[in-house]
Amino acid sequence: MAEKSPVAAQRSAPRRRRKEARPQELTAAALSLFVEKGFAATRLDEVAARAGVSKGTLYLYFDSKEALFKAVIAEGVVPAIEAGEAMLERHADDPVTLLRGFLYEWWALIGSTELGGIPKLMMSEARNFPEVAAYYHETVIRRGLRLIRTAVQRGVDMGVFRRVNTELIGNVFMAPLLHLALWRHSFGACCGGDLDAQRFLDTWFDLLMHGLGAAPAPREEAR
C-alpha cells in the first residue's frame, strides 16, 4: 500500500487542540465572536473552539459568558479610559489639547479596532442583559463622560470655552464618535461606502471648537 504524502496525512489528521491557552487568547476569541454575532448568540463552546482549546479549559479561567465579557472590557477598553485619565493630568492647563486627544485617541484605541463593535452590541442588547449593561455603564460610560465633562469645565473656568451644559456635553461629544463606530460595524461592513474616519473626526472637531469657543470680549467704544 502506498504511503500517504505528508500533505495528505496532515489534511486527514484531526485538528489537535492545545491543552493550555492564555486568558488573553480566550478574550480575543470572545471579542471577535461578540462583534460578529452579538452577546446573546455567542456560545462558550464557540469561543473555546476559536481559541483552539476545550470548553473545560475555558472554564478554568471564566465561569460564565458574563465574566468573559467583563474580561474583554477590562483588557481592551479600560486601558483606553486610563490613558484618557493620564492625559487629563498631563494637559491640565490645555483643554483644547485634552479634547483633541480624547477624540483621536478614542478612535485609535477603540473605534478603529475590533473593540469599536462593542458600542453597537451594548445598544442592541443592554436591556436583555442588565448585569452586563450595568458593568459597562459603570466601568466605561460613566468614567468616559466624567473625563469629557472635566476637560470642558476647565475650559469654561479658564475662559477658553463659553458656558455650556456640562452635564450633557459628554454625551454630545461622544455621539458622532458612536455614529462613526456604528456605521463602520453595520452599513460600512456590508454595503460599502464606509465613512472616511479621518475627515469625519477633523470635521467634528472643527465644529466642536467653533461651538465651544468663548466669544471675544466686546471692545470699548472709542471716545
One domain for residues 28 and 111: no
Element (H, E) at 65: helix 65-76
Q: Is 165 helix (H, G, I), strand (E, B) or coil?
A: coil
Mean pLDDT of 212-216: 75
Counting every residue written for the chain, the total comes to 223
Whether the pLDDT of residue 217 is over 70: the answer is no
Q: How far apart are CA 62 and CA 134, in angstroms?
A: 19
Residue 218 CB neighbours (<10 A)? 6
Mean pLDDT of 66-76: 96
One domain for residues 54 and 84: no
Alpha helices in 159-185 (DSSP H): 166-184
Q: How far apart are CA 69 and CA 171, in angstroms?
A: 24
Nine cell digits for residue 180: 462613526
The number of domains in the chain is 2
pLDDT digits (tens, 9 = 90+) for 169-203: 999 999 999 999 999 888 877 776 678 999 999 99
One domain for residues 95 and 60: no
Q: How far apart are CA 120 and CA 135, in angstroms?
A: 16
CA angle 177, 180, 183 (to 5 degrees): 150
Is the residue at 51 inside a domain? yes
Q: 114: which DSSP letter? A: G
pLDDT digits (tens, 9 = 90+) for 79-95: 999 999 999 999 989 99
Summary mean pLDDT of the chain:
87
One domain for residues 41 and 85: no
Q: How much is the pLDDT for 216? A: 56
Is the residue at 119 inside a domain? yes
Nine cell digits for residue 7: 500533505
Is the residue at 148 inside a domain? yes
CA distances from 73 to 91, 101, 132, 141, 146 (A): 26, 21, 10, 12, 18
Q: What pTM, to 2 d.p., does this model score?
A: 0.81
- Is 110 in contact with 102 (CB distance < 8 Å)? no
pLDDT digits (tens, 9 = 90+) for 112-152: 999 999 999 999 999 999 999 999 999 999 999 999 999 99
One domain for residues 98 and 188: yes
Domain membership of residue 171 as a residue range: 77-211
Residue 153 one-letter amino acid: Q
